[in-house]
Amino acid sequence: GLLLIAGSRESAFVHAISSAGVVFAITRACSQGELKSCSCDPEKKGSAKDSKGRFDWGGCSDNIDYGVKFARAFVDAKERKGKDARALMNLHNNRAGRKAVKRFLKQECKCHGVSGSCTLRTCWLAMADFRKTGDYLWKKYNGAIQVVMNQDGTGFTVANKRFKKPTKNDLVYFESSPDYCIRDRDVGSPGTAGRVCNQTSRGMDSCEVMCCGRGYDTLRVSRMTKCECKFHWCCAVRCQDCLEEVDIHTCKAPKAAGWASRT
């Protein structure tokens, strides 16, 4: 919603990961024969050479160029209508997302020969699991670079001269992020008050991080679970119903917000 309207680093990440997702989905659909307009990469034919020697292109190489071309036309269409800072920012981050998928293409090979020896190899290019692209873009989100429009309005420069100029792989943003700890309807932030947190985690879902230092409430609840499950020949699994008590941790509301709501 409103968070995407702001030119924040979160908006930059959403545009990049969405663009990457389109590339991945279309490319995968091409390889699986689900689209009439494309198939495997038509360029990967004949023989080639790598560090291990010669090989033949075979199998089905992912047609990443088609996926990138489709994503550029489909995802960028809305941004190309505008010439403002947000449009430039979105186009940059969309491209960074497309490039991220292409970054993790890997060559896979199958050996042919006596006793599996690699006297002959057949190879193809395949996309890595999308998780790799997501992890890479998450790092780029954490290292996103704040920029300002240049005077002629054709591009941008770094807001802080101490930081390096962004490359085509970097995510860029214009505006500082709002305080996501506090509820703010104007920017679409629900805040973290009442959110369930993980007391044992040390990550983003931990009570320490999610509750923004405000502390948390603990409520002991009873719930029914399946237990003492046994396999019976053949072929059923029978379980008992067990009542267990668990602690649910939820983030406290900011003191100022609680006071304001009473006045």
Whether residue 241 sits in one domain with residue 118: no
Whether residue 156 sits in one domain with residue 206: no
What's the pLDDT at 160? 85
Whether residue 202 sits in one domain with residue 101: no
CATH of the domain at 209: 3.30.2460.20
Whether residue 236 sits in one domain with residue 136: no
Query: Which of 119, 140, 173 is the last residue before a domain boundary?
Result: 173
Whether residue 131 sits in one domain with residue 199: no
Scanning the structure block, which residue is given the tokens 């991220």?
100
The three-class DSSP label of residue 145 is: strand
What's the pLDDT at 4? 55
Residue 256 included in any domain: no
Whether residue 83 sits in one domain with residue 143: yes
The rounded distance, in Å, linking the Cα atoms of 15 and 93 is 6
What's the pLDDT at 233? 86
Q: What is the pLDDT of residues 27-73, one digit of tens each?
A: 999 999 999 999 999 999 999 998 888 999 999 999 999 999 999 99
Whether residue 203 sits in one domain with residue 159: no
Q: What is the DSSP string of 100-165?
A: HHHHTEEEEEEEESGGG-TTEEEEEEEEPPHHHHHHHHHHHHHT-EEEEE-TTSS-EEESSTTSPP
Into how many domains does the chain fold?
A: 2
Whether residue 136 sits in one domain with residue 234: no
Whether residue 165 sits in one domain with residue 80: yes
What's the pLDDT at 123? 95
What's the pLDDT at 263? 32
Whether residue 27 sits in one domain with residue 155: yes
Residue 204 included in any domain: yes
Query: Which of 140, 173, 206 is the last residue before a domain boundary?
Result: 173
The three-class DSSP label of residue 35 is: coil
Lay out the sheet containing 47-50: strands in order across.
47-50, 53-57, 120-127, 105-112
Under 8 Å between Cβ of 137 and 97: yes
Residue 245 included in any domain: yes
Q: How far is CA 220 from CA 139, 223, 244, 248, 253, in A?
A: 37, 10, 10, 6, 19
Residue 53 included in any domain: yes
Whether residue 241 sits in one domain with residue 146: no
What's the pLDDT at 154? 73
What's the pLDDT at 151? 76
Residues of the chain with pLDDT under 70: 1-5, 116, 256-263
The three-class DSSP label of residue 258 is: helix
The rounded distance, in Å, linking the Cα atoms of 161 and 75 is 31
The rounded distance, in Å, linking the Cα atoms of 111 and 119 is 7
Compute the radius of gyration of the chain from its Cα atoms: 26
CB count, 10 Å around CB of 59? 16
Residue 184 included in any domain: no
Whether residue 223 sits in one domain with residue 132: no
Tell me whether residue 30 is exposed, middle or buried, using C-beta atoms within 10 angstroms of its C-beta: 0 to 12, 13 to 18, 19 or more. buried
Residue 112 included in any domain: yes
Residue 82 included in any domain: yes
Query: Which of 141, 173, 205 is the last residue before a domain boundary?
Result: 173
Question: Residue 120: in which H helix or E strand, if any?
Answer: strand 120-127
C-alpha torsion 239→245→249→255, nearest 10: 150
Q: What is the pLDDT of residues 210-230, one digit of tens each?
A: 999 999 999 999 999 999 999
Domain region containing 227:
195-251
What's the pLDDT at 102? 96
Tell me whether residue 153 is exposed, middle or buried, using C-beta atoms within 10 angstroms of its C-beta: 0 to 12, 13 to 18, 19 or more. exposed
